[in-house]
């Protein structure tokens, strides 16, 4: 307990408060701009914070990390463009809600459940760091492959009704994931001599194209001369009523659960957690058919999940010295410079630091939540712009934001190419969700399977308890809905039968 007090006392310093405020403002801003992800913002800030005291620097970096997760929901809900990859799944229901005039309640609920998720994740960080870190270490290639297989079963769920088309889109996504250097031999695949492609398809450019640009192009081709559709001025209510708050509970609990587990596993982050928890909440929901058409539950699950990953990621990073996600990979660099080598030794040498970090993150969460609730009405004004201005703003911000990721014009081209691809897909009723899932999981699936095969010819796939459990879970995820729908069909038939008698 002494450590907790020392850790907390170390923060009683006005400059740290200032650092927190700066970080939260920056994080919310960069989160809300498509293209600039938390990773990039933290990386750029790291250049400046190195000269600060460690705690001050960590306050800036961690609060950017936390606040970006609040900011990125805004474009996801309002213009179908994920501000950072963590809010990909937010677009599934958030944007349909906004189109239906319920943007206000979607934004408020999103901010509230994001805060719940973040706080839950941080609690785990404080109380369970070391045992859980030991668990994370057991994720070798075979276990990772099994986890990714489980993730791939979500493809059926995010297909939006047409499973055949969903699986085709998923296969296309997995193929796009294979572009670049082979993960084991290094041979180039499908790069057509373009050096930019040898490190794979730029992910952020692809998701901005698939969601934001495709939606925008679709609005353009549906527009009619002289009749510009009315902008979304109807924002609906702001604060969820009692029934809605109750509705939020279950998906948030599912989201937090999924987020904690995914967050602990190294190298996977909020994007995957969001999609998995969206699908889990759909399965558990009383009204699964509403998912994807503007369900409040469908916003709560992914948003609480992606923020809940943060505690787990920080924990894995601190306890193992292994980056829990890409933001943490950048932060490790700074921490090393400050003489805080992440790893089990950190808990021995600086036990108070963990409490300081957790306190910083809690403070950042509360600040970011407050900011999110206050500035919401202002941000939403953007939507009251006539559509043509909104189009122009979205195009230039996505364009420059995507360029800024790698200072690469090629990435901008990729963004528009994926926008056109997703437009054609949309017109032919192919869902974009499975494609993104394939793009994220493809390299992880192939690389880890082949690593597992190299190490022991894949024996760990059926000897490791974690791998076996996850593979069985995947099997259940695919078969249970089929069996259930067969049973229901039979019940209905039986019912109809008895009635005719």
Partner 1 sequence: MSTHKSRTTRTLGAVAVVSVALALTACANRSDVAATGDVFPSKTITFLTPTSAGGATDLTARTLAKELEDEFGVSVVVENRPGGAGSVGIQYLAGTAADGYTIAVLPVEVSLLGHQGYDIDPADFDFIAQANSQPGSIAVPVDSPFQTLDELIVAAEADPGSISISNAGPGSIWNLGATDLGLAAGVEFTHVPFDGGAPAVTAAVGGQVNAVVAGIGETAPAQKDGRLRVLAVLTDDRVPALPDVPTATELGFDVVIGSWAAIGAPAGVPTDVVATLEAALKNAIAAPAYVEFIESGGNIPFFRSAADTTAFVQTESERFASLLAGS
Partner 2 sequence: MEHTTPEHDPETPALMVVPTRRSAFLAALVVASAGAGVIVLSESITVSRSEGTFGPTWWPALMGMLLIVGGAALAVAAFFHRERSGNAPLSRHGLMQLAIVLLLIVGYGVAWLYLHFIVVTVLFLAALVFVTGARGPKALIVFPIVTTAVLYGLFGLLLRVPL
Q: Report the distance separating Cα 85 and Cα 231, nearest Å.
A: 26
168 belongs to the binding site for partner 2 (CB under 8 A)? yes
Q: Report the distance separating Cα 158 and Cα 170, nearest Å.
A: 10
Number of residues that bind partner 2 (CB under 8 A): 64
Q: Which of 165, 250, 375, 451 binds partner 1 (CB under 8 A)?
A: 451
> What are the backbone angles phi and psi of residue 270, rounded to the nearest 5°?
-65, -30
Supply the minimum distance, in Å, between the C-beta of residue 91 and partner 2.
16
Residue 72 near which of partner 2, partner 1, none (CB within 5-8 Å, type-dependent): none
223 belongs to the binding site for partner 2 (CB under 8 A)? yes
412 belongs to the binding site for partner 2 (CB under 8 A)? yes
Residue entry with tokens 């353009």: 220
Q: For the purposes of burial, counting CB atoms within 10 Å of the CB of 489, is it exposed (0-12), middle (13-18) or buried (19 or more)?
A: exposed
Footprint of partner 2 on 82-141 (CB under 8 A): none
Q: Report the distance separating Cα 181 and Cα 204, nearest Å.
A: 19
Residue 343 near which of partner 2, partner 1, none (CB within 5-8 Å, type-dependent): partner 1
Residue 233: count of CB within 10 angstroms of its CB = 11
Tokens of 159: 């297909």
Q: Report the distance separating Cα 281 and Cα 258, nearest Å.
A: 10
Residue 431: count of CB within 10 angstroms of its CB = 24
Supply the minimum distance, in Å, between the C-beta of residue 489 and partner 2.
17
424 belongs to the binding site for partner 2 (CB under 8 A)? yes
Residue 428 near which of partner 2, partner 1, none (CB within 5-8 Å, type-dependent): partner 2
Footprint of partner 1 on 282-321 (CB under 8 A): 320-321
Cβ(82)–Cβ(384) below 8 Å: no
Q: Which of 18, 50, 337, 396 binds partner 2 (CB under 8 A)?
A: 396
Residue placing its CB nearer to partner 2 in the complex, 139 or 430: 430
Supply the minimum distance, in Å, between the C-beta of residue 415 and partner 2.
10
Q: Which residues pair with 224 in a beta bridge?
A: 227
39 belongs to the binding site for partner 1 (CB under 8 A)? yes
Collapsed DSSP state (helix, strand, coil) of residue 180: strand
Q: Which of 19, 20, 33, 439 binds partner 2 (CB under 8 A)?
A: 33
Q: For the purposes of burial, counting CB atoms within 10 Å of the CB of 128, is it exposed (0-12), middle (13-18) or buried (19 or more)?
A: middle
Q: Which range in 64-72, 83-91, 218-226, 341-349 contacts partner 1 by CB under 8 A?
A: 341-349
193 belongs to the binding site for partner 2 (CB under 8 A)? no
Residue 165 near which of partner 2, partner 1, none (CB within 5-8 Å, type-dependent): partner 2
Tokens of 188: 């180039």
Q: Which pairs with CB-CB distance under 8 Å and at least 24 residues apart come from 195-204?
A: 196/408, 196/410, 196/411, 200/443, 201/176, 201/177, 201/414, 201/439, 202/405, 202/406, 202/408, 202/410, 202/411, 202/414, 203/85, 203/439, 203/440, 204/35, 204/37, 204/85, 204/402, 204/405, 204/411
Residue placing its CB nearer to partner 2 in the complex, 186 or 195: 186
Tokens of 467: 């791998």
Residue 33 near which of partner 2, partner 1, none (CB within 5-8 Å, type-dependent): partner 2
**Residue numbers of the site for partner 2 (CB under 8 A)?**
29, 33, 36, 44, 162, 164-165, 167-168, 171-172, 174-175, 178, 182, 184-190, 217-218, 220-228, 386-389, 391-393, 395-397, 399-401, 403-404, 407, 409, 412-413, 416, 424, 426-430, 446, 449-450, 453-454
**Residue numbers of the site for partner 1 (CB under 8 A)?**
39-40, 42-44, 46-47, 50, 137-141, 181-186, 188, 195-199, 202, 266-267, 320-323, 329-330, 332-333, 336-339, 341, 343-345, 406-408, 410, 443, 447, 451, 454-455, 460
């Amino acid at each position: 307990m002494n450590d907790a007090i020392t850790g907390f006392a170390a923060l009683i310093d006005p400059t740290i408060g200032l650092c927190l405020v700066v970080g939260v403002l920056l994080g919310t801003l960069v989160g809300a701009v498509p293209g600039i992800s938390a990773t990039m913002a933290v990386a750029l800030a790291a250049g400046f914070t190195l000269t600060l005291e460690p705690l001050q620097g960590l306050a800036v970096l961690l609060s950017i990390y936390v606040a970006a997760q609040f900011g990125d929901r805004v474009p996801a809900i309002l213009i179908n463009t994920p501000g950072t990859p963590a809010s990909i799944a937010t677009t599934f229901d958030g944007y349909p809600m906004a189109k239906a005039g319920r943007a206000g309640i979607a934004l408020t609920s999103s901010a509230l459940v994001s805060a719940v998720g973040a706080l839950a994740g941080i609690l785990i960080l404080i109380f369970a760091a070391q045992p859980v870190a030991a668990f994370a270490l057991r994720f070798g290639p075979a276990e990772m492959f099994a986890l990714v297989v489980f993730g791939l079963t979500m493809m059926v769920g995010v297909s939006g009704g047409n499973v055949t088309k969903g699986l085709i889109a998923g296969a296309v996504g997995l193929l796009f994931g294979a572009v670049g250097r082979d993960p084991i031999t290094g041979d180039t695949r499908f790069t057509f001599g373009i050096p930019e492609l040898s490190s794979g398809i730029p992910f952020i450019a692809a998701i901005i194209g698939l969601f934001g640009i495709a939606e925008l192009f679709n609005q353009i081709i549906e527009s009619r001369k002289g009749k510009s559709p009315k902008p979304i001025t109807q924002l609906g209510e702001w604060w969820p009523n009692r029934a809605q708050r109750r509705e939020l509970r279950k998906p948030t609990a599912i989201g937090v659960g999924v987020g904690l587990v995914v967050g602990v596993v190294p190298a996977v982050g909020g994007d995957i957690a969001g999609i998995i928890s969206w699908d889990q909440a759909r399965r558990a929901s009383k009204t699964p058919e509403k998912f994807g058409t503007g369900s409040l539950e469908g916003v709560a699950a992914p948003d609480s999940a992606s923020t809940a990953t943060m505690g787990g990621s920080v924990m894995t990073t601190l306890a193992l010295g292994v980056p829990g996600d890409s933001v943490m990979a950048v932060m490790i660099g700074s921490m090393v410079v400050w003489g805080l080598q992440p790893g089990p030794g950190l808990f021995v040498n600086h036990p108070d630091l963990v409490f300081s970090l957790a306190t910083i993150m809690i403070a950042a969460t509360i600040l970011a939540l407050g900011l999110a609730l206050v500035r919401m009405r202002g941000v939403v004004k953007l939507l009251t712009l006539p559509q043509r201005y909104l189009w122009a703003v979205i195009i230039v911000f996505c364009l420059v934001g995507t360029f800024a990721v790698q200072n690469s014009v090629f990435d901008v081209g990729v963004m528009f190419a994926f926008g056109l691809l997703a437009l054609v897909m949309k017109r032919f009723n192919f869902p974009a969700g499975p494609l993104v899932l394939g793009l994220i999981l493809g390299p992880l699936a192939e690389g880890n399977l082949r690593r597992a095969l190299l190490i022991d010819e894949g024996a760990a796939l059926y000897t490791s308890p974690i791998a076996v459990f996850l593979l069985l879970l995947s099997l259940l995820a695919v078969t249970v809905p089929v069996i259930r729908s067969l049973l229901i069909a039979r019940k209905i038939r039986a019912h109809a039968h008895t009635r005719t008698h």
